[in-house]
Amino acid sequence: MSSPSNSRVSRLNSRSASNNRPTTNTTKSTGPYNRNFQQNLVDGSVFPHAYRHPDGRVPAKPNNWEEINRRLLQPRASLSPSKFSEERHAEFVQADADAVKEKQVTTSVIPIIEGDIRDAKCVSGGIPFTNLDHLTDGTLVPGNPDIYYGARPEQLDRRVRDELSGHIIPSTQDDLPIAPNFFMAAKGPDGSLPVAGRQASYDGTLGARGMHSLQSYGQEEHTFDNNASTISSIYHGGTLKMFTIHPSLPTDPSNRPEYYMHQLNTWGMTGNTEQFRQGAAAYRNARDWAKMQRDEAIRRANERVDIHHTAADPGFPQASSPASDAISDGTYTIEAPTEECRTSLTEDSNTTTHLQDLEASLVDHGAQVKRSREHARGSPQSRRKRRNAGDSNYDLRSQQSEPQLSTHSGLSQRFEDQVLAQGPSSQSSSDELHQ
């Protein structure tokens, strides 16, 4: 049995060991289910629908507000009475009533609203946006929309994808849609509408930031035209809500762009067939409109990529003219024999002299290739920079260009053999050689 003094010593040693343990500081991630999530977004200049600034200012709607609303009102043939009947709407109402969980809503209710999807490779959902840069202070969980639409990766030049990866490529899985700008947050009957609102705001702002970077690609500064190119939607309890989200010029010392959310409209999808038709048409029209914005931004970025890389690196490869195989980015080719060489082979003079001229010309071309190859190679840093710029065919083209010198040497040897066999007066042979 231990004495009281031994027990006190044991407790002191235990306390001392506890005090010596290393302490680790962990930062708790904040998600949309946390009530502090919204304030974090506001502190990061991401403002929800109906927000008013402390000084009473009301955020302006996007400049293309009327254009978007006109687009939403366009009728859809797939929703005409002959295509979408009262019976079909009754099936939708039943599906909504039977969906008691969020997953059921996204798999049995939302597909009726969406209708046919033209390209399944452009839609995904339930994938955390772990590849995107943090939107605020780094404490928010990655975005994770229930449904989102983007572009196929191959639509955008690989160099642009590499440069803007943290803004436009949501996932590390390369084949998923990129540059998403159309989002859906769906909730079951027991789901929280405020949570859905925070999700729609957060996911939509991630998309708006990516579109803004894509639209500004290749320009000296980010452009702020106060136009929206991103749509975010909420479906909860039979009601569909749609919002625009757009960037605006920074107004605080942090120089952080501001993002504003504005509600386009609300539709009671289970109320009656006509309300459903209007809401579903607006949803599908908005999805098509978002695709147009996305495709146009991608087209412009693809047009600017060569100019952008040339300005950043004067050694960046440019397309060469077929008439003159220019040397660039480590590739090289021997120029075709000059007109002077061709003429000298057909003039009435000593054949040996012409042969010597041709060989001298070939030697000059070989020296030019050597000098150009050394110049094009440059420093190891510049070679790495050019390879990183997207010239994946660097080594292949260099290897393919090597044999061209021997081809000209073979031409000279065949010509010499032919001349020696037929004699200096064989003018027709030299003509046939260059036809």
Over residues 25-75, the pLDDT tens digits come to 456 789 999 989 999 999 999 999 999 999 999 999 999 999 999 999 999
111 in a domain, yes or no? yes
Answer yes or no: do 275 and 135 share one domain: yes
Answer yes or no: do 279 and 367 share one domain: no
Size of the chain, expressed as the number of residues it contains:
435
Answer yes or no: do 360 and 301 share one domain: no
Answer yes or no: do 132 and 234 share one domain: yes
132 in a domain, yes or no? yes
**For the residues of 233-287, what is the DSSP string, one character each?**
EEEETTEEEEEEEEEE---STT-PPEEEEEEEEEEETTT-HHHHHHHHHHHHHHH
Q: Are 345 and 355 in contact (CB under 8 A)?
A: no
The lowest-confidence range among 126-140, 204-218, 294-308, 413-427 is 413-427
Query: Is the pLDDT confidence value at 424 over 60?
Result: no
Give the pLDDT confidence score for residue 122 in this predicted structure.
98
Tokens of 42: 């506001």
pTM value is 0.68
State whether the Cα torsion 341-346-348-351 is positive or negative. positive
Higher pLDDT, 70 or 435: 70
3 in a domain, yes or no? no
Higher pLDDT, 14 or 126: 126
Residue 421's pLDDT band, with cuts at 50, 70 and 90, is very low
Answer yes or no: do 349 and 429 share one domain: yes
Residue indicated by tokens 């254009």: 67
Residue among 151, 237, 229, 146 nearest 184 (CA): 146
**pLDDT tens-place string over residues 189-233:** 999 999 999 999 999 999 999 999 999 999 988 889 999 999 999
Q: Are 200 and 183 in contact (CB under 8 A)?
A: yes
169 in a domain, yes or no? yes
Answer yes or no: do 265 and 349 share one domain: no
Answer yes or no: do 252 and 215 share one domain: yes
Q: Which domain holds residue 199?
A: 37-312
Cα separation values, 408 from 345, 413, 418, Å: 15, 9, 15
Share of the chain above pLDDT 90, in %: 60
Higher pLDDT, 153 or 392: 153
The one-letter amino acid at 139: T
- Total tally of structural domains belonging to the chain: 2
Answer yes or no: do 53 and 191 share one domain: yes
Residue among 417, 403, 383 nearest 313 (CA): 383
Tokens of 314: 């004067």
Answer yes or no: do 300 and 428 share one domain: no
The one-letter amino acid at 108: S
DSSP 8-class letter at 218: T
49 in a domain, yes or no? yes
**For the residues of 207-235, what is the DSSP string, one character each?**
HHHHHHHHHTTTSSS--------EEEEEE
Answer yes or no: do 297 and 408 share one domain: no
Answer yes or no: do 213 and 158 share one domain: yes
Q: Which of 194-203, 364-373, 388-397, 407-416 has the highest mean pLDDT?
A: 194-203
